Copies of this chain bind each other. A is one copy, B any other.
């Protein structure tokens, strides 16, 4: 079936958001940890995390103009520091709940029962229950003028993963670490590795 722009515009608002956020396909879901200048910790789920480059190691994520990530963006601008924590089969319900509009004086760690994990030299908090996590420093904040969103560009400064989980070739088995995928801000998937293919040649 064909859905034209006018068909799309005629949908109810929530249905438009549901359909639009399904189009990319299965996406990452990560908890972004920040700590404000008042030392309060904050957690927010992001599904727009993407690799921008390996040398230097740059990761991008998109902030929506409003709602859940306001505190996150403010803390990143104020402190230049954040963590990204891959959400797993045992943490996705708590990660989902972190999207609720808690006031700024409420820590999502306290309300969801996730545990703060701190490392020397890193201002932002990690999530203890998430096995694959890393810290970033703000490299750039790029406006997307069409709709007022921003691309937050971070340089990875430290990676913390389970012992023995890094293979010699640099790979980490995401399925064995129970990382989940998501779509449409409300749907979660477990993943099963079906192939690892050699570099594509002519």
Contact = CB atoms under 8 A, between A and B. Distances in A.
B181 A20 contact: no
Interface string A165-202: 11011111011000111011011111111111111111
A113 interface: no
Oligomer copy total: 2
A17 to B, nearest CB: 5
A159 B23 contact: yes
- Chain A contact residues, majority secondary structure: mixed
A174 B170 contact: no
B51 A50 contact: no
B191 A186 contact: no
Contacts of A21: 51, 54
A82 interface: no
A10 to B, nearest CB: 12
Given A4-B158, A8-B156, A16-B57, 16 more contacts: A1-B163, A20-B54, A24-B51, A25-B179, A26-B180, A56-B146, A58-B147, A60-B62, A89-B194, A96-B200, A102-B202, A142-B144, A144-B153, A151-B151, A175-B189, A188-B194
17 contacts: A1-B163, A1-B166, A5-B156, A8-B156, A15-B168, A18-B170, A23-B134, A24-B50, A25-B132, A26-B26, A26-B28, A26-B179, A26-B180, A140-B144, A142-B144, A146-B153, A189-B193
